[in-house]
Structure 1
Amino acid sequence: MPETPLGAFLRARRARLAPADAGLPASGRRRTPGLRREEVAARAGISADYYARLEQGRQRVPTGPVLDGLAEALQLTAAERGYLHRLAARPHRPAPPPAEAPALPPTTLALLDTLDAAPAFVTGPTFDLLAWNRPAALLLAGPERRPARERNLLWQVFCCPYRDRSQGNTAAEGSIGADLVASLRAQHADRPRDRALLALVHRLSADSPVFAELWDRHRAAPPRPGRLHVRHPALAATVLDYTVLPLPEDGRHLFAFLAPPDSPTRHAFAAAGRDRPRTATAPR
């Protein structure tokens, strides 16, 4: 039977937990990492056979209490718990019809313009770049001049020639790359047949083994503030703090980056922000 998204998620999260994490004594060498199925089942209060059927896609939708028990057993975060519930309900929920994304409100574009010394941009559900100010155009090395497939924040982090080649942006925990991949998972639990998402995941997995590995971890979480490691021929800073704000439109976020005060990079961004036009939007 083919693997289901729910089964893949359960298996990946089970593999992440060591016996000590679950308060279990070590019991000799294990053939595979993580907890055994029967250990998760016991902690969740279900039978080992029932849990095996869930992982193997042979079990119908589990009840809410069963899902909550699994979330406790696998030590899921609040975002991952919600993701688990959406995955379980997804097979019985009709896929929404594709809808054209609304244009960005003028107030959002005006907000980008006010950040004239800080790179800022707006992303869509698959982290395509929808609009950016002039400092962000400098940071992203001119997204308006590149093809649509490269106007994407995930592409910038995992595939751009100017990307930082250390693990600062793509480490398995606490990096902008790991957080973006987790957010991609969390946002699309209800859209298994989203062609844009599937095409993006396939392309990035082919171009970046690091992205493929992070995607297979099945971590789910919303975007959060962090640090961007910069490798850029026109900028002196090596690390930029950033914050991310959800926008009212579904799946859209505003990212804003801050260079160290009175640094050459901050002055470079401010100079770029004085240019006109300030805000650019991606071509439709």
Structure 2
Amino acid sequence: MPDTPLSAFLRARRRSLAPAEVGLPTGPRRRTPGLRREEVAVRAGISADYYARLEQGRQRLPTGPVLDGIARALLLADSERAYLHRLAHRRRPEPPATAADGVGTATRALLATLDRTPAFVTGPRFDLLAWNPRAGALLADPASRPAFERNLLWQVFCCPYGAAERANHTPADSIGADLVAGLRAQHADDPDDRELTALVARLSAQSRAFAALWARHRAGPPRQGRLSLRHPDLDAEVLDYTVLGLPDGGQHLFVFLAPGGSRASDTFRRLRSDGRADAGAARVTPVG
């Protein structure tokens, strides 16, 4: 059976949906988790054979109304509905027009103005492209690390600072779940990206938590949330952050926010007075 990103997504989402969630009884005759193919087909208003061909990778280019019906049947969120359409009608995206180092001049200027709190820019695979001095301290000096470790997913799932905290990896409302969903959403048009495949393989080999979240086939843009960490030099355990999408394709700006008087605020204030952390402007590191 030929497997495609679309068929894998449909199977994963069907199996993760409990019958009770769509008003169906849960009986003893159910031997596999989730809905049956026939039940999804009925809810989507299509034939069971047609839906089976989609899950088996034997049906090409389903129409928009068919995809919308399947999205309703699987209770997909708006971002996941858009992801479903992109999987079904994917085309290789045009490369974004950016500066030679991957970060535009305006983005670097914006980052340089954020001098009171950690902030950094990530690329489509959440590689760390640029960061200010406070973020450099928070992320344990990414410039000194191997290229594959200059990645936010690695920081959350493999670096001891973030990987030790289970709160970062829960299936819902965690930075890990959001980043994994964002990785899928940003690469729906090009799932055969070799660098993406290598990144997923590396993270899956090093982190069971990442592998489990990747297998859920969630998709959606990264959102604001919280990062839990155990940092040897920082007196902060939980940090709030917000995320802004940038004009350059697939790039995001992560900014960490600390309420006045909080432990995190004190931590950031100490970073500002640290001579090594304050030296220089925002660094820009190409993906390598």
What range is the shorter-chain TM-score in? over 0.9
Residue 230 of structure 2 corresponds to which residue in structure 1?
A: 231
Instruction: Give distance in 1, aligned partners of 2:278 and 2:26.
Output: 62
Residue 271 of structure 1 corresponds to which residue in structure 2?
A: 273
Q: 1:1-284 residue pairs with structure 2 within 5 A? A: 1-90=1-90, 93=91, 95-96=92-93, 101-102=98-99, 103-262=102-261, 263=263, 264-272=266-274, 275-283=278-286
CA distance 1:193–1:164, change in 2 (3 Å): closer
1:59, distance to aligned residue in structure 2 (A): 1.4
1:106, distance to aligned residue in structure 2 (A): 2.7
1:231, distance to aligned residue in structure 2 (A): 0.8
SS at match of 1:168: helix
SS at match of 1:162: helix
Deviation sequence 1:207-229 (CA, Å, 0-9, x none): 11111111111000001000000
CA distance 1:164–1:202, change in 2 (3 Å): closer
Contact 1:3–1:57 (CA under 8 A) maintained in structure 2: yes
1:96, distance to aligned residue in structure 2 (A): 4.8
SS at match of 2:42: helix
Contact 1:260–1:266 (CA under 8 A) maintained in structure 2: no
CA distance 1:59–1:135, change in 2 (3 Å): same
Contact 2:164–2:229 (CA under 8 A) maintained in structure 1: no
1:74, distance to aligned residue in structure 2 (A): 0.2
Greater shift after overlay, 111-120 or 12-21? 111-120
Deviation sequence 1:139-167 (CA, Å, 0-9, x none): 00000111111100001001112225131
Greater shift after overlay, 123-132 or 60-69? 60-69
Structure 1 unmatched runs, 5+: none
AA in 2 matched with 1:248? P
Question: Please, what TM-score do these two structures have when normalized by structure 2?
Answer: 0.92
AA in 2 matched with 1:268? R
SS at match of 2:256: strand
AA in 1 matched with 2:271? F
AA in 2 matched with 1:62? P
Contact 2:272–2:278 (CA under 8 A) maintained in structure 1: no
Instruction: Give distance in 2, aligned partners of 1:245 and 1:98.
Output: 20
Contact 1:240–1:259 (CA under 8 A) maintained in structure 2: yes
1:29, distance to aligned residue in structure 2 (A): 4.6
Instruction: Give distance in 2, aligned partners of 1:106 and 1:56.
Output: 46
Greater shift after overlay, 207-216 or 266-275? 266-275
Structure 2 unmatched runs, 5+: none
Deviation sequence 1:10-38 (CA, Å, 0-9, x none): 01111111111001122225211111111
Report the count of equivalent residues.
Answer: 281
CA distance 1:96–1:245, change in 2 (3 Å): closer
1:272, distance to aligned residue in structure 2 (A): 4.5
Greater shift after overlay, 257-266 or 1-10? 257-266
Instruction: Give distance in 2, aligned partners of 1:247 and 1:255.
Output: 10
SS at match of 1:163: helix
Deviation sequence 1:155-209 (CA, Å, 0-9, x none): 1001112225131111111100100000000010001221211111111111111
